[in-house]
Amino acid sequence: MTLDTTSAKVCLITGATDGIGKQTALELAQLGYSLVLVGRNTEKGRTTIAELSSRTGNESIQFHCADLSSMKAISLLCDEIKSSYDTLDILINNAGAYFREFCKTDEGFEQTFALNHLAYSYLTQLLLEMVRDGKPGRIINVASSAHRNTKFNFNDIQGINDYKGWPAYGRSKLANIMFTYECHRRFNDTGVTFNCLHPGFVDSNFGNNNSGFARKSISFAKFLFAINIVKGAQTSIYLASSDEVEGMSGKYFDKCKPTQSSKVSQVKNDQTRLWDISEEMINSIQPN
C-alpha cells in the first residue's frame, strides 16, 4: 500500500543513511512525512531510499549527496534544496562524527568542528527562510551529553594547538547546544522553533571511521553500555512529530523530556561569541 504524501510535511535529515538518522527517517516515513535525506555516498543513498520505500510504502523520499564538512558543498546542497522544494517543515541536523586524529578540511577547518558544528550553523542559516515560510517549522539539532565537563578556549576554538579527539567531539556537541540557544533568541519572532537533544549512547556506526585502539575502545564501550538505534532515534522523532512540543523552543531534551544542559552551555555572551566566530569562519571561505 502506497501512502498519500501529497500534503505531507517535508523533513530534511542529514546523516540519514546510517544509525539514528536512518531510523528517524524510517519512522517518519511510516508516519507519512515527505523526506529529504542527505548523506555522503550516492549509492548508499539510493539503497536507503529503496529500503525505506519498500518497508513503509512511502514513495516521497529523495536523496541529496553532500560532504557536510565542506561549506562549499553545503552551499551547493542548499541551492539544490531551494530549487527542488517549495518549503521545509522540519530540519534535523543529525550528521556528525568522532575523529581521533587531527585533520583539516580542504577549507582549512578542523574536521570535527567543521562537520559537527559549522555544518549545523551554515545549513540552518541557508535554509531558515524555507523553514520560516508558511506555517513556521522546526529545527532540531542532535547534540550529546558529551558536552558536559567541557568548555571552549575562544582563543583556539577549534582546539588545533592541543588536539585530542574526544575533547574535540565534546566541544562540538557543546557548540550544538549553544548554537540552538542563540538561534532561539535571534529568531524567536519568526515562529520557527529550535531545540536540541541527547540521543543516548547508541550502538551505531559512530566511531567506525577511526582505526586501531580508538575503534576497538568505542566498540567495547558500545558492547557494554550502548542502547539500540530504535531507542536512540526516539527523541529526534518526538521533536519532529509530536504535538506536545508545538511552539516549544530553546530547550535541550533527553529521553523526550526537556532537561538542563551544562552551566557552561547557558552563558549567553559565550553563545553570541560562538555565533560571531562561526559566522566569520564561514564567511572567510566565501568568494569575494
- Exposed, middle or buried, 189 (CB in 10 Å: 0-12/13-18/19+)? exposed
Q: Per-residue b/e over 90-112, b at no fewer than 16 CB within 10 Å? A: bbbbbbbbbbbebeebebebbbb
From residue 147, give the alpha-carbon distance in Å to each of 142, 144, 157, 217, 267. Answer: 12, 6, 14, 20, 14
* Least confident segment among 131-135, 174-178, 235-239: 131-135
pLDDT of 33 above 70: yes
- Residue closest to 62 by CA, chosen among 90, 39, 78, 87: 39
169 classed as catalytic: yes
Rounded to whole angstroms, the Cα distance separating 8 from 195 reads 22
Rounded to whole angstroms, the Cα distance separating 90 from 9 reads 8
Instruction: Give the containing element (helix H, strand E) for 76.
Output: helix 71-84
What pTM was estimated for this model as a whole? Answer: 0.90
Of 98, 120, 169, 252, the active-site residue reads: 169
CATH class of 10-282: alpha beta
Assign residue 149 a region (left: φ > 0; alpha: ψ between -120 and 50; beta: otherwise). Answer: left
**Residue-wise pLDDT tens digits, 189-240:** 999 999 999 996 554 454 444 444 444 443 433 333 345 678 999 999 999 9
From residue 257, give the alpha-carbon distance in Å to each of 196, 215, 227. Answer: 11, 31, 17
DSSP code, position 116: I
The per-residue pLDDT for 230 is 87
Domain boundaries, the chain: 10-282
pLDDT band at 134 (very low <50, low <70, confident <90, very high): low
pLDDT of 7 above 80: no
* Least confident segment among 15-24, 32-41, 219-228: 219-228
Bigger pLDDT: 30 vs 213 = 30
DSSP code, position 189: G
**Residue-wise pLDDT tens digits, 85-110:** 999 999 999 999 999 999 999 999 99
